[in-house]
Amino acid sequence: MKTLKIALAGNPNSGKTTIFNALTGARQRVGNYAGVTVEKKEGRCQWQDWDIQVFDLPGIYSLTAYSLDEVVARDFLLEETPDVIVNVLDSTNLERNLYLTLQFMDLGIPLVGALNVADQAQRQGIEIDAGVLHQGLGIPLVKTSGAKAQGLEDLLAQAVQAFQAQARPPKIPFSAAVEAWLEPLEKTLQTLEPSRPRWLAVKLLEKDAGAWEKIAALPGAPGVKDLLNQAWASLEKTLGRDPEILISEERYGFLHGLCAQALRRRQTGPSTTQKVDAVVLNPILGLPIFFLVLWGIFQLTFTLGAFPQEWLEGFFAWSQNSLKTLIPPGLVQSLVVDGIIGGVGGVLSFVPLVVILFTFLSVLEDTGYMSRSAFLMDKFLHIFGLHGQSFLPMMLGFGCSVPAMMAARSLKSPRDRIITVLVIPFMNCGAKLPIHVLFAAVFFPENPGIMVMVIYLTGIFLAFGSAWIFRKTVLRGQDTPFVMELPPYRLPTLGKVLLHVGEKSWMYLRKAGTVILAASVLVWAATTFPQAPEGTPPDKAMETTLAGMTGKVLEPAFAPMGFDWKVAVATLTGFAAKEVVVSTLGVLYSVDGDATEENESLKQALKADPQFSPLTAFILMLFMLILAPCIAAQATIRSEIGGRWLGFFWVYSLALAWGLGVGIYQVGKLFGIGG
Amino acid sequence: MTISQVKPGQEFFVTQVLLQRELGKRLADMGFTRGARGRVVRRGLWGGPLQIQILGYDLAIRRTEAQGIQVEALVS
């Protein structure tokens, strides 16, 4: 079998990922977390007797090193040299999309263009003459539709052909004045670094720092620098322009001419996107609509999710009871019934909620509404020293902090990234949701939804407040610019949403099967051994165990918040994964309670515990919201922004959680609320 | 005049981008080159970002940055 390595590259929102999914189907590997394509996505497909490896690169506007996405894509193209670049082009926006194509052409790697969403362009009154485009650019072009899986066979055929012919894209010349400098530059470079001299020459002329680094250490570098200095001076003098801007201008000049020939625009009324924007970005309606959308998502998640959640809870209670009759009483029964099913089952019953929430977030992202929310929120975020583009990662934080922090890579400035990563844990993640839902249901039975929303809002408030504090203290400095595309609205395809949600849910399930299973067993062991002597009353039995003893040691720290050692134990186990807090409580209370009694549920046990009142329940929810996130999220903080910031975050969140917890409890007691 | 002074709905063409190197280059990459025509679609609330249409697509840009884009407004 013959093999081929293809890189899918193009602008953001060009439909790259949809083509990638259509090509590779289920045969794809996503680094660790998907959703926002910063990680390298890799998949395979077959075409005739070819085994084709496909890489989905992050969407970029240019081959500079402006954002991390661009660096990732650029490094991939330069260092892992794919056999063919398939450049996915948004047909509704060709002029800007082709700007990147011209840069790909300079690389000298065989290139095929996919004129994607051509049907959409047609509906917008844009008629594309692919023949004229092909003539002008000299690279093969194929009309495709990722959503309808059209033109993909042809695309692969062209890619294979381009590879076999080793077809180097032709050179699109700049103006004579620029070429007069590029040619000698290219010749000199060829003697130094024979691969991709054209691309290097253009980039060097553009004063690209990354390109210079590539050759700075080579022996001929000083000669190149001399030549460059002459070129810059001469071009600025004769054309009166900074060379880097000049290159962009000439490229757009060429494309403007080409598109004038190849595209025919019929006058059409306002597009659907414009009509929708007129409403959702309306100065008066915009923000209320945005908050309504957020509110609706949370309401729907909880009302829709409640049904399957009840079924699952019922199922696990039933299996616990049946297993009790099957397995004789003793350690094994206790391990299986209380440890494993009690722990993992408690977490699994929240899967429907998580799936529904992820579905909504995925739809928001795919439709293009997320970037509108950044537009609406930028002014507000800016007040707190955040960036409009911080908003999307923060929103993703409602799902899971880990992909959210990774999404923060799209932020250009390291400072913005650090702040965003540091505040994401305050966005209440899906794994913390079970804790809040449980306590809200038990202690605020009239309005559990409102209570959960209060926690979410508190988290948002803390995130902004913390960002403001960080910006004023540890992360001072200049603002970074806000320049962001508002892509046309697209209906999310069912397949893409399902794939996305499937990935996320699978991640959650895998966590339940591994980390949470292990943690549940450990927690069970820690709460069982060393066993209390025979005849100890059940409510005292726990105190002699390892967990009980550790909890007792920590109790003095928890007492000022109104908690006893059980909460201390649950907090500790929560570091493994936040869902474990619920399962730990399940284990703690089922051991505590009378094992022979019929189905004493966790909710009733919590209600019966004198340490919990609405006040302490609220403090517990708050404490769990703020306190250091799970191991996975901590590892991500470390890998994204470094161990020093992780340490900083630890101290900060611990102080904040404890300070607020103690403060609220003491003030609450003073006023005689709960306690 | 700068692009932040253009009224919503009004068309313009770019005369010069006066911004620090990196951002200037990014805007050039996004299509803000001399002579490029565009339209200010709307302005964000309370001094929020501008929505600008250029090369047939829409983009949001903060007003501080917009002040570095010199344009000439077209009479409509």
Segment A105-138, tens digit of pLDDT: 999 999 999 999 888 888 888 899 999 999 999 9
Other beta carbons within 10 angstroms of residue A129's beta carbon come to 12
A339 pLDDT tier (thresholds 50, 70, 90): confident
Do A527 and A542 touch, CB atoms closer than 8 A? yes
Torsion, Cα A349 A355 A360 A365, to 10 degrees, reads 140
Of the pLDDT bands very low, low, confident and very high (cuts 50, 70, 90), residue A597 is: very low
| ipTM of the complex as predicted | 0.94
Best of B55, B63, B65 to disrupt the A interface (most A CBs within 10 Å) is: B55
pLDDT at B21: 79
**What average pLDDT does the segment A8-26 reach?**
87
Candidates A89, A245, A268, A485: best to mutate against B (most CBs of B within 10 A) is A245
- A656 CB neighbour count, 10 Å cutoff: 18
Q: Say how far apart CA A606 and CA A551 lie, in whole Å.
A: 18
Structural tokens at position A11: 């602008």
Inter-CA distances, A631 with A141, A246, A469, A580, Å: 47, 49, 25, 12
The pLDDT score that the predictor gives to residue A34 is 31
pLDDT band for position B76 (cuts 50, 70, 90) = low
The pLDDT of residue A358 is above 80: no
What percentage of chain A carries pLDDT values higher than 70?
91
Q: Which residues of B touch A248 (CB under 8 A)?
A: 25, 28-29, 33
- Note whether B33 contacts A283, CB cutoff 8 Å: no
The region, left, alpha or beta by phi > 0 then psi within -120 to 50, assigned to residue A124 is alpha
Interchain proximity B45–A379, CB inside 8 Å = yes
**Nearest residue of B to residue A13 by CA position?**
B57
Give chain A's end-to-end CA distance (angstroms, integer): 72
Helix (H) or strand (E) holding A409: none
How confident is the model over B2-42, as pLDDT tens digits? Answer: 999 999 999 999 998 888 878 889 999 999 999 899 999 99
Query: Residue A389 pLDDT > 80, yes or no?
Result: no
The conformation of residue B2, written as its DSSP 8-state character, comes to: B
Question: Residue A36 pLDDT > 50, yes or no?
Answer: no
Residue in chain B nearest A487 by alpha carbon: B58
DSSP conformational letter for A633: H
pTM: 0.77
Cβ <8 Å between B49 and A378: yes
Contact criterion met (CB < 8 Å) for A482 and B42: no
Chain B partners within 8 Å of A273 (Cβ): 58
Three-class SS of A128-190: ECHHHHHHHHCCCEEECECCCCECHHHHHHHHHHHHHCCCCCCCCCCCHHHHHHHHHHHHHHH
The structure tokens 């025979």 sit at A534
**Residue B29 is nearest to which of A61, A287, A479, comparing CB atoms?**
A61
C-beta of residue B40 within 8 angstroms of C-beta of residue B13: no
State how far the alpha carbon of A106 is from the alpha carbons of A115, A159, A231, A343, in Å. Answer: 20, 18, 19, 57
Instruction: Determine the Cα angle at A421 with ends A420 and A427, to 5°.
Output: 80
Whether residue A69 has pLDDT greater than 60: yes
Q: Please, what is the average pLDDT of chain A?
A: 84
Helices (H), A328-447: 331-333, 346-348, 351-367, 369-383, 391-396, 401-407, 414-423, 433-443
Indicate yes or no: CB of B60 within 8 angstroms of CB of A388.
yes
Could you say which of B47, B49, B51 has the minimum Cβ distance to residue A388?
B49
- Whether residue A430 contacts residue A459, with contact meaning beta carbons closer than 8 Å, is answered with no
Residue A505 confidence (pLDDT): 74
Q: How far apart are CA A438 and CA A603, in angstroms?
A: 7
Question: How far does the CA of residue B5 sit from the closest CA of chain A (Å)?
Answer: 18
CA distances, A162 to each of A109, A110, A112, A154, A165 (Å): 10, 6, 7, 12, 5
Give the Cα separation of A521 and A342 in Å (integer): 10
* Residue A35 pLDDT > 60: no
Counting every residue written for chain B, the total comes to 76
CB A18 within 8 A of CB A151: no
Chain A touched by B18 (CB under 8 Å): no
Residues of A with CB under 8 A from a CB of B: 61-62, 64, 66, 92-93, 95-96, 99, 206-207, 242, 244-245, 248-249, 252-253, 273, 277, 281, 283, 286-287, 371, 374-376, 378-379, 382, 388, 479, 481-488
